[in-house]
Every structure is written in C-alpha cells, then in structure tokens.
Chains A and B, each alone.
Chain A
Amino acid sequence: MSGIALITVDNFVTYALNGLSRGMIIFLVASGLSLIFGLIGLINFAHGAMLALGGYGTYVILQVMGNFWLGLVISVALVALLGFALERKVLYWIYDEPLLGFLSTFGIGLVIEEALAVYFGSRSYTVPSPLPESAQLLGVSYPSYRLFVIAVGAAVALGVGALLTKTRLGLEIHATANRQPTAEILGIDTARIYTITFVLGTALAALAGALTAPITSMYPTIGLDYITMAFLVIIVGGMGSFKGSFVVSMIVGQIIAFGWLLLEPTYVRILVFAAAMVFILYKPRGFYGKPEVHE
C-alpha cells in the first residue's frame, strides 16, 4: 500500500502519540484485569461492564452537573463502590471455583450491559472533550485531552507500580497471591487484600471508561472490545504481572497506531489476536509472568 508514503516527521509524532494514548487506555483496563487475575485467579468478565459504567456514569454526571472532571471522579468512585459490594457480597464466596467465577462474572457483566442498553438504548453517546484546545508538542499540534490521558496513564502506572513494590500493602498483595494460607498464618488479613485488589482493579476499569468517553463514542457493549484486547495483553505480558501489562499495552498501542498504514485496522486486530493465541500455546506465562501464577 501507499501508506508508507504518509509518514513524515510530523505524522510520525502524531501517530506515536495516538498509540501512546490508546496504549494507556488499554493499559488501564489490562492492569486492572491482571491484578484481579494475578491475585485472585478470577477471569473477570464483568470488567468490561465496569468500563462501560465508568463511561456512562461520567456522561450522566456531566449532564446533571455540567462538569466533566467531577463526573470522572464521582463515576470512578461509584463504580469502585459497586466493585466493593460485588466482591464482598457475591464474588468472595466463589473464589475456590474458577468455573463458577467465570460464569458468574460473565452473567453479572451481561446484566449490567443489558441494563445500560435498556436505559440508554443501544445508540452510541459522545461526550464533548473537556480540553478542546490543542497543545504544541515536538513540532506538532496535538489535542490537549489526549496528552492528559497519557499523563493519567503514566501517573497510574507509576503510582500503582510504587504501591505494589514499595509499600507494605504491595508486599501483602504479593504474599497473598503467592501463598494465601501462609500469608493468612503470618497475620495478613487476606480477605481485606482480596477486597482492596478487586476494588482497585475495578476502579482502573472505570477510569479507563471515563477517560475514553470523550475520545470514542460509548455504547453498552464497549467493554467487550476492550477486555478482549486486554485479556490478550495480559497473556502476552504475563498473567498477574503489572510491568508486563504496561509494556505490552504500549507495544499494542503503537502496533495499532502504525499498523493501519500497512493494513486495515481490523486486520491489525486479527494479527494481534493471532499472536496472543500463539502465546497462550507456547509461552502461556508471557514475557514477565512468574511460574507461580494460577493455572
């Protein structure tokens, strides 16, 4: 194709930034999934619905209060609260049965998405960008809002990364993920660790949903597209590895951003999925996965 000819220095920077902002959104979704899977061993299919709730919540609060930032914060907080209730009241009881966990989160996700479809209809909604102006960066003019998304993603990566590696809580999360009974004996309240991790993961999904609302339009099943990609990202990165999901999200973001120059975007997606299938078969622990990860 003639796509290669489209690359100039300016375009290159723009595409790279597009890839970065897209990669950050994927990273927010994938890191939440990865935390929940790495610690609890739960394939959380309700994750996509949480993302959709975050997006729709932001939209609703924007309509009511007229402030996007308020909407973002409140909707993430509300979804985190929902995650808390869900974990305490429902999922906590089924951690021992992965099959039941998969089916129940699948069902819960379905209920949330269909409730959104009933209430809002299946048409798509758009949220106006809260930062409509553009900024000058590396010689190109680039939407400020997307730069904000990149900054938030980077801040979350650093913040949660530090939480996991530098704090007592992070140590307790690692201990619980490795040997839950031993951690319990050593005095860690593992039930609390499970709850905190699930709520944190859910909040990251809601944040991704809220952040993506002004970039792409929202529809009830928006989460499905993201979690399919996110699941594959955490496989390639290594299940339960925070670093892995960050690195692979960035790579996938760039592949998608530049891939369309050579191929149609859907073919790029297909190739990414196919690569993930090969990884599942031949390198199921991905790049950064540890051998202890749940089978």
Chain B
Amino acid sequence: MSDRMANVREYVRELPRRPLLAVGALLLLAVPFLFPSQSGLATEALIFGLFAISVDIVLGYAGLLTLAPAAFFGIGAYTVAKLVVDYGQSFWLGFPLGIVLAVAVAFAVGYVPIKRRIGNVYFVLFTLAFGAIVYDFTYVTTWLTGGSDGLGFFSPPEVLGIDLGGATEYYFFSLLVVAICGYGLYVLIRSDYGDVLHATRQNELRMRYLGYDTNRELMIAWLVSAAISALAGAVYVGLVGIASPSMVSFGLTGDVIIWIIVGGTGTLLGPFASAIGLVFVQEFLQNVWQGGYRLLLGVLFVVFVFALPDGLMGLLRGEE
C-alpha cells in the first residue's frame, strides 16, 4: 500500500504542472458541451469550490476556527435577492453591495475577538453564536428576508446580448468569476502577505516580536474571506433564483468544513477540488440512496480527520 502510494506521489510530483493546468482548464471550459444536462450542477460545484477556497483562507491559512462562513455566504445571497425581488434593482448592484455589507459585518464581528486574541476555543464558540444569530435572524425577520419562504424567484439578466438565464451561459459567467477570484487568492497566498500569514499561524508571538502587526494580518484574511464568501453567495443565488435560510444554516457551514478537511486545509486547490467532487458525489448518491449522502459524508469526514488529517492534498504531496 505505502509502496504504491509512494509511486503515486512520485508520479504526481513528476507530472509537468503547466500542461496539467491547461488540461484542467480545457476540461472546465468543455463541461457544458460534454455534459449539457449537467451544466447547472457543474455551476453549483464551481461556486461551492470558490466558497471552500475562501473559507480555507481563514481556516487553513490564518488558523481562525470559524463556524460562521455560511453567514457571509448568506449575506451575499440575500443582498442580491433583496435588491432584485423587493426593490426591483439591478442584479449587478447586489454584488458590490453584498460584498461591502459582508466586509462591514465581518469587521464589526471580528474586530474585538481578533484584537483581544481570544483563544481558539472561544473563537469557535463566538462564531457559533454569531452563526446562530444570523440564522435565527434570517428566519424571524419575515419583512426583510421572507422568513422560511426565502426571497425569490428571479433569473439573472441579459448582458451584451448574452442571456445569463441560460444554464450554459451562467456556467461560463460563474467560471469567469471563480477563475478570477481563485487566481487572485492564489496570488495573494503566494505573495509576501501569504508568507506572513503562514508564519503568524506557526508562531504569532515571534511575528509580533519581529514587528509585524499580526492582528492586522489576521483581520485582512478574515475580511478577504468574508468578501469572497459573499461573492460566492451572490453568484449562487443567481443560479438557484431564490435566497433561502438553508444558505445561512449550519448544514452549509458543516459542508464547507468537510470539503476543506477532505481536500486538505491550507492548500487552496484541495478544498476547491474536493468541494466539486463531493457535490457531484452528492448528486449521484441522491439518485441511488436518498438521504444516505450526508451519512456517508460524515463517515468520510471522520475517516479523514483520524487517518488523513492533511486531506487529499496531503496524501498526494506526502511528508514534506
């Protein structure tokens, strides 16, 4: 087993990166033509992939254990839905507004806990409470969020003669957003800032002695993550056409944490790939064994936590 695994690792390491990237990109571009009936699902998978990356920035790189990523996803989704459904405004206005709102809320919520450097345990519980508040709030403020009915239905508009309401068109739109954001986050993590973040997670005290304002660095990661999560939510609501409380639920938070652990925390590509893979597995399993998906997901998660804590990427990269 370990021999074969070593062979796989060797093989992966020797694979030329650039051609592989090109093949991956071509595959993503070809999905709507190869599997036209699956465009909607592929779009959903891509968006969740982006969401997983954005949460990985906080969870994997900054080392802030958050239980509230769905809150920011939901803020993006609900802002777009609210503007379109209730105020009749442009679909596009919701994107910047949702992001600004998410960043503002993230700043308000995260400022004190990050500044006071409450421990991991307290950060988990703090974000748990925040997530619960946002969920309850979404349910109870029927005048604002539509309560359990949500806000719907609408479809994305036409842009430059392209009707984004079509499944293929929206797939390419999502792919564009995901590609830009994904690449942007990759550059951010590869930059000096990424190194600072990495070092801060390893030894925050030493970084402070070296003169870095670690609170500011963590805050930046927290805000960037909230912004991208909100953007993912905004794109997602365009796909499904309705904002509903499930988008701010702990179920979604649980899903995104599972995607990240299975893919490998702090690897960007791992969570992205595993989110996409697991969305497809879910769709497949739902036809075979109704309701069994989440059970299997839980089992898979436990197996990864105990046996492969570095996730799939850790498995492929091996000990480093």
Report A's interface with B, CB cutoff 8 A.
Answer: 41, 43, 90, 98-100, 102-104, 106-108, 110-111, 113-115, 117-118, 121-122, 224, 228, 231-232, 235, 264, 266-267, 269-270, 273-274, 276-277, 280-281, 284, 294-295
Tell me the B residues contacting A by CB distance below 8 Å.
Answer: 65, 112-113, 116, 118-122, 124-126, 128-130, 132-133, 136-137, 139-140, 250, 254, 257-258, 261, 291-292, 294-295, 297-299, 301-302, 305-306, 309
26 contacts between A and B (CB under 8 A): A43-B121, A43-B124, A43-B125, A98-B121, A99-B65, A100-B305, A102-B65, A103-B305, A106-B257, A108-B302, A110-B297, A110-B301, A111-B295, A111-B302, A114-B295, A115-B295, A122-B291, A224-B250, A231-B128, A270-B140, A273-B130, A274-B129, A276-B125, A277-B130, A281-B113, A295-B121
Interface centre among B112, B113, B297, B305 (most CB of A within 10 A): B305
Residues of chain B within 8 A of A102, CB atoms compared: 65, 124
From the candidates B118, B250, B295, name the one contacting A281 in the complex (CB within 8 A).
Answer: B118
Docked pose: A111 CA to B292 CA in angstroms: 11
Closest 8 CB pairs of A and B: A110-B298, A111-B298, A114-B295, A266-B140, A107-B302, A295-B119, A107-B301, A114-B294
Shortest distance from the beta carbon of B302 to any chain A beta carbon, whole Å: 4
**How long is the Cα–Cα vector from A113 to B254 in the complex, in angstroms?**
13
Tell me if B120 and A266 are in contact (CB < 8 A). no
**When the two chains form their complex, are residues B122 and A284 in contact, meaning their CB atoms are under 8 A apart?**
yes
List 10 other contacts, CB 8 Å, given A269-B136, A270-B136: A98-B120, A102-B124, A107-B298, A122-B291, A266-B136, A266-B139, A274-B129, A277-B129, A280-B125, A281-B116
Taking CB atoms, residues of chain B closer than 8 Å to A232 are 125, 129
Contact of A118 with B136 at beta-carbon distance under 8 Å, contacts A43-B121, A111-B299, A280-B125 already known:
no
In the bound complex, do residue A280 and residue B122 qualify as a contact, i.e. CB atoms below 8 Å apart? yes
Contacts of B116 in A (CB 8 A): 281
